[in-house]
């Protein structure tokens, strides 16, 4: 009669010890804000068995010890980026502190002598990429978070195959989760058969071994295209049709992408190379030591920002906040996913309180009901501060853009949410140029023309159940 009781006591003791060990780890884990620690402690204390499993799967921001070691080795072995010291353009000089912050993240200095244009729409972006790939003579490097075997996705597949068959070195990488349909399709192996080198970022392993390999939802969210060390693209667009058939009810996906030439291309090349060599045993040192792209006369100052969980914690959040504090007149933001930390929310409110005209545009219908609800929990505070909030009605506004005072633009893959701050590998370009920024503002104004304003009266009219739901979901934000 005592044997079952003894086993029951042993099980309870084991669970208690496990719970104490996990809670100790939560307290000791670096780079966690107090709200996050409290949220995880409550979860583990309230639901010990389930909480421990969830923490082991999702509580640690790590890519796995083996991958982290490999990435450190790759970064240590990469040749220094030989950037010729050049003065900032006169227009960029007042924003030197923004570029100094950016340089502290990756070591990439601001470079002058760049040119760029904002592509008209998603289909035009794919067509421009195809034209550049068809004109390539040395190499084509592609990295996408989502690559679908749809019309646009296959146009890129076919262009890369053509390039490889005529002797161009083609390297393509896709995230294992976001591009799983393409990777499992015959098109992936067809590229390999044509001579394209293919690689998968963050392969998905058996969930039982997941704690050894890092979080399953820690992904490479970057979108990088580099061709012949001469051209690079940066923006929010994945390699897919705007109709985005896997989530067609939210379509069209509305994105913005810029095509760059000049010295900033090499910085994106470094990001691609670091990702490539982490997962592929190939040394790209020779390519990285080749002469830098030539500066373009009269070109603007720009800088690549590459962030992720192996960069310092919340570097992307720091960039957003510092740009907001640099504003003197106007800020316009578009982002599909808004789940800020306290400092970013405060920076937005502070900008409005000090008289800056702050406008932020979200999608009216979000493909993530969790993020959509969490985002709306912040509306009231933003509106009280004087921030103008709009919701875009023309599809899923997926563009991640920030413009300041008609001069500064930040464009890329990073959202204003904790996932982009702490979990995903992202790439953005910061630039100072009135002409290019005006083209970005014109695009933002186009979004505004297809949006409706969110007013304080509208928010106050929300039913109590909706407010409770939004705030409950937002409370889970620190568990990311």
Cα separation of 375 and 419, whole Å? 13
Confirm whether 223 is a catalytic residue. yes
Question: Pick the catalytic residue: 139, 155, 221, 407?
Answer: 221
Residues 6+ apart with CB under 8 A from 282: 197, 276
Q: Tokens 């789940």 map to which residue?
A: 339
Q: Which of 139, 223, 229, 417 is flagged as catalytic?
A: 223
Triad 253, 257, 261: Cα angle to 5°: 165
Interacting residues of 399 by C-beta distance below 8 A, sequence separation 6+:
235, 236, 254, 255, 256, 334, 335, 336, 443, 447
297 Ramachandran zone, left/alpha/beta (phi>0; psi -120 to 50): beta
Q: Where are the alpha helices (DSSP H) in 327-359?
A: 342-353
Cβ-Cβ contacts under 8 Å for 275 (sequence gap 6 or more): 143, 173, 201, 220, 222, 224, 425
Choice among 139, 155, 213, 398 that is catalytic? 398
User: Considering 139, 141, 213, 400, which one is annotated as catalytic?
Assistant: 400
Confirm whether 249 is a catalytic residue. Answer: no
Active site residue 229: no
Tell me the C-alpha distance between 271 and 320, whole Å: 20
Whether the link from the prior residue into 73 is cis, omega within 30° of 0, is: no
> Which residue blocks in 214-295 are alpha helix, DSSP H?
264-279, 285-288
Active-site residue identified among 138, 228, 357, 388: 228
- Residue 419: DSSP 8-state: I
Give dist(CA 92, CA 107) in Å, integer. Answer: 18
Q: Which of 229, 405, 417, 422 is catalytic?
A: 405
What six digits make up the tokens of 44? 């583990």
DSSP assigned state of 336: S
**Burial 338-376, CB ≥16 within 10 A → b, else e:** bbbbeebbbbbbebbeeebebbbbbbbebbbeebbbbbb
| Maximum alpha-carbon separation in the chain | 89
- Residue showing tokens 């999702």: 58
Joined together, the tokens standing for residue 212 give 């050894």
In total, the chain counts a number of residues equal to 480
Compute the CA torsion angle 378, 383, 386, 392 (nearest 10 deg): 90
How far is it, in rounded angstroms, from Cα 131 to Cα 153?
A: 14
Examine the residue annotation and report whether 221 is marked as an active-site residue of this protein: yes
DSSP-assigned states of every residue in 443-455:
HHHHHHHTEEEE-
Closest C-alpha to 146, from 62, 218, 241, 268:
241
Q: Provide the annotated active-site residues.
A: 221, 223, 228, 398, 400, 405
């Amino acid at each position: 009669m005592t044997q079952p009781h003894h086993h029951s006591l042993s099980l309870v003791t084991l669970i208690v010890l496990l719970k104490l060990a996990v809670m100790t780890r939560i307290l000791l884990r670096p780079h966690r804000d107090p709200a996050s620690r409290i949220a995880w402690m409550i979860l583990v204390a309230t639901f010990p068995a389930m909480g421990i499993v969830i923490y082991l799967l999702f509580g640690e921001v790590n890519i796995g010890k083996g991958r982290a070691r490999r990435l450190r080795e790759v970064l240590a072995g990469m040749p220094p980026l030989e950037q010729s010291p050049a003065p900032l353009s006169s227009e960029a000089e007042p924003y030197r502190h923004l570029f100094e912050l950016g340089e502290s993240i990756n070591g990439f200095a601001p470079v002058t002598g760049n040119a760029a244009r904002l592509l008209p729409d998603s289909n035009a972006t794919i067509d421009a990429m195809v034209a550049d790939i068809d004109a390539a003579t040395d190499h084509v490097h592609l990295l996408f978070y989502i690559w679908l075997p749809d019309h646009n996705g296959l146009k890129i597949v076919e262009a890369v195959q053509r390039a490889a068959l005529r002797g161009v070195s083609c390297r393509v990488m896709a995230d294992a989760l976001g591009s799983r349909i393409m990777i499992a399709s015959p098109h992936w192996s067809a590229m390999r058969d044509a001579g394209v080198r293919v690689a998968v970022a963050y392969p998905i392993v058996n969930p039982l071994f997941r704690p050894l390999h890092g979080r399953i939802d820690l992904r490479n969210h970057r979108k990088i295209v580099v061709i012949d060390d001469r051209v690079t693209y940066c923006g929010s667009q994945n390699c897919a049709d705007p109709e985005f058939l896997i989530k067609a009810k939210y379509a069209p996906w509305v994105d913005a992408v810029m095509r760059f030439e000049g010295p900033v291309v090499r910085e994106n090349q470094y990001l691609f190379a670091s990702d490539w060599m982490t997962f592929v045993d190939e040394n790209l040192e020779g390519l990285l030591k080749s002469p830098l792209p030539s500066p373009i006369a009269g070109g603007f100052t720009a800088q690549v920002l590459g962030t992720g969980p192996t960069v310092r914690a919340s570097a992307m959040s720091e960039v957003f906040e510092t740009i907001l504090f640099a504003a003197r007149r106007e800020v316009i933001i578009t982002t599909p996913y808004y789940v800020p930390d306290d400092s970013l929310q405060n920076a937005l409110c502070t900008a409005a309180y000090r008289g800056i005209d702050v406008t932020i545009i979200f999608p009216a219908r979000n493909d993530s009901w969790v993020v959509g609800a969490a985002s709306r929990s912040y509306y009231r505070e933003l509106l009280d501060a004087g921030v103008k909030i709009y919701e875009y009605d023309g599809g899923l506004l997926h563009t991640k853009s920030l413009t300041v005072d008609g001069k500064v633009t930040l464009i890329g893959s990073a959202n204003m949410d904790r996932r982009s701050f702490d979990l995903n590998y992202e790439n953005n370009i910061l630039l100072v140029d009135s002409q290019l920024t005006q083209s970005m503002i014109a695009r933002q104004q186009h979004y505004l023309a297809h949006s409706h304003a969110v007013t304080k009266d509208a928010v106050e009219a929300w039913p109590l159940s909706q407010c409770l739901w939004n705030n409950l979901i937002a409370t889970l934000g620190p568990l990311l």
